[in-house]
Amino acid sequence: MLTKGLALLDRARGALDVLVREMLKFGVVGAVAFVIDLGGYNILVFGPHLLGMFGQQNTVGVLHDKPLTARIISATVATLVAWVGNRLWTFRHRGHRQASHELALFVFFNVVAMVISVACLGASRYVFGLHSQFADNVTNIFGIGLGTLFRFWSYRKFVFAADLVDSPLEPANQEPANQEPANQEPAGKN
């Protein structure tokens, strides 16, 4: 009975270890995608410098009059970078589906997350009338944060949901729960 309890504890610890490692790696990949997303948006809407954010200069990017289009473009580039990072690093220890199927699921869930982010920006711009670079960045960070929570859940649940390749959830040399351990002599004792 004690060994069953220890085995269950080992499984729980292994599951928690996997979750923590996935969250940390997801965070690193997400940070890179975040810089690409927010940086790309700022360059497209406000130009290649950040002076306008602090009210020192009015800046204009190529999509200054189309902030939602800029948001979609920057989020799309960040999505592709995130897919590569998550597939090759964050969830590499899980079995993978065919890459095209996995990418289709990844894109679908990222489109949902992008809608969340674009809706936040649209509300800020067109409902609340906030048009400054600072307001856009605060709104984008909020929208990206909501989308990130959704993405982490959906990636683990649907996109990279295959079983672990080297499962830390199974303790080594564990007998099935409903069988009695075999009578074996300990190694080295004859």
Residue 174 domain-assigned? no
Residue 171 domain-assigned? no
pTM exceeds cut of 0.75: no
* Mean pLDDT value across residues 73-88: 89
Cβ(154)–Cβ(86) below 8 Å: no
pLDDT confidence of residue 8 = 76
The average confidence (pLDDT) of the chain is: 80
To the nearest 10 degrees (0 to 180), the angle between helices 67-85 and 2-46 is 140
pLDDT at 128 over 80: yes
Our count of domains for the chain comes to: 1
pLDDT confidence of residue 176 = 46
Residue 20 domain-assigned? yes
Could you tell me the pLDDT band of residue 168, with boundaries at 50, 70 and 90? very low
Give the structural domain span for 137.
Answer: 2-159
Could you tell me the pLDDT band of residue 83, with boundaries at 50, 70 and 90? confident
Residue 177 domain-assigned? no
Residue 7 domain-assigned? yes
pLDDT confidence of residue 89 = 86
Residue 70 domain-assigned? yes
Give the residue, 121 or 107, on which the prediction is more confident. Answer: 121
Give just the sign of the alpha carbon dihedral 122, 78, 145, 64: negative
pLDDT confidence of residue 175 = 47
Could you tell me the pLDDT band of residue 122, with boundaries at 50, 70 and 90? very high
